[in-house]
Amino acid sequence: MWPWTHLAFGYLLVSLLWRLRARRLDGTAAVAAAVGTQFPDLVDKPLAWALGVLPAGRSLTHSVLVATVVSAVVLYVARRRSHPDSGLAFVVGYASHLAGDAIPKLPAGEFDSLTFLLWPLLPLPEYDGSGPVVANLAEVLAAPAAYLLASPGRLAFLVVVLALWSADGFPGVAGIGRYLTRHTGRRTD
């Protein structure tokens, strides 16, 4: 799953959870969810591909074992700092990332490729390395419209999530704008 797909899937789940809780999703929680959706790749891929300290780009923080510990720590710290919603949003975003990496393998019965979820208790699946990922990413970024239009489901999913984000009032955008203004001295509007 690409970073933007992880982001969209995680936002969908967080937004729906907040609706079930009859709560309004604020900007801080939305940003925490966004960070959670990217967290496993932000840790594992550089440590594996650039530094060589992990065996694969889906290993340490893609493991449910590590995710459980990280999630417990995040929830504890967020609660202690009076931001429990942000902690929960991060955890839901993080869990959505793992689910997003696993779900596409299920219909084909590719259960052997899901062993990363229980690493290091189970061996990692065989990966091709970062080369194919980087080449595929370059193709997608070179022609994003072709990527979106190649799959009606992909485009429909994006439209639904963008509509939901709009209905939620685009949480997170204003806070990022304020942060940039504060740290660059430039207005963002």
Average pLDDT of the segment spanning 102-117 = 94
The tens digit of pLDDT for each residue in 18-41 reads: 999 999 999 999 999 999 999 999
- Rounded to 10 degrees, the C-alpha dihedral 75/6/162/139 comes to 150
Q: Are 176 and 31 in contact (CB under 8 A)?
A: yes
Whether 62 shows a pLDDT value over 80: the answer reads yes
User: What predicted TM-score, i.e. pTM, was given to this entire model?
Assistant: 0.88
Q: Render the burial of 123-161: b for 16+ CB within 10 Å, e for the rest.
A: ebbebeeeeeeeeeeeeeeeeeeebeeeeeeeeebeeeb
Alpha helices in the chain (DSSP H): 3-20, 27-45, 64-80, 84-102, 131-142, 144-149, 152-167, 173-184
The tens digit of pLDDT for each residue in 116-144 reads: 999 999 999 987 655 566 777 778 778 77
Average pLDDT of the segment spanning 51-69 = 97
Whether 2 shows a pLDDT value over 70: the answer reads yes
Whether 76 shows a pLDDT value over 80: the answer reads yes
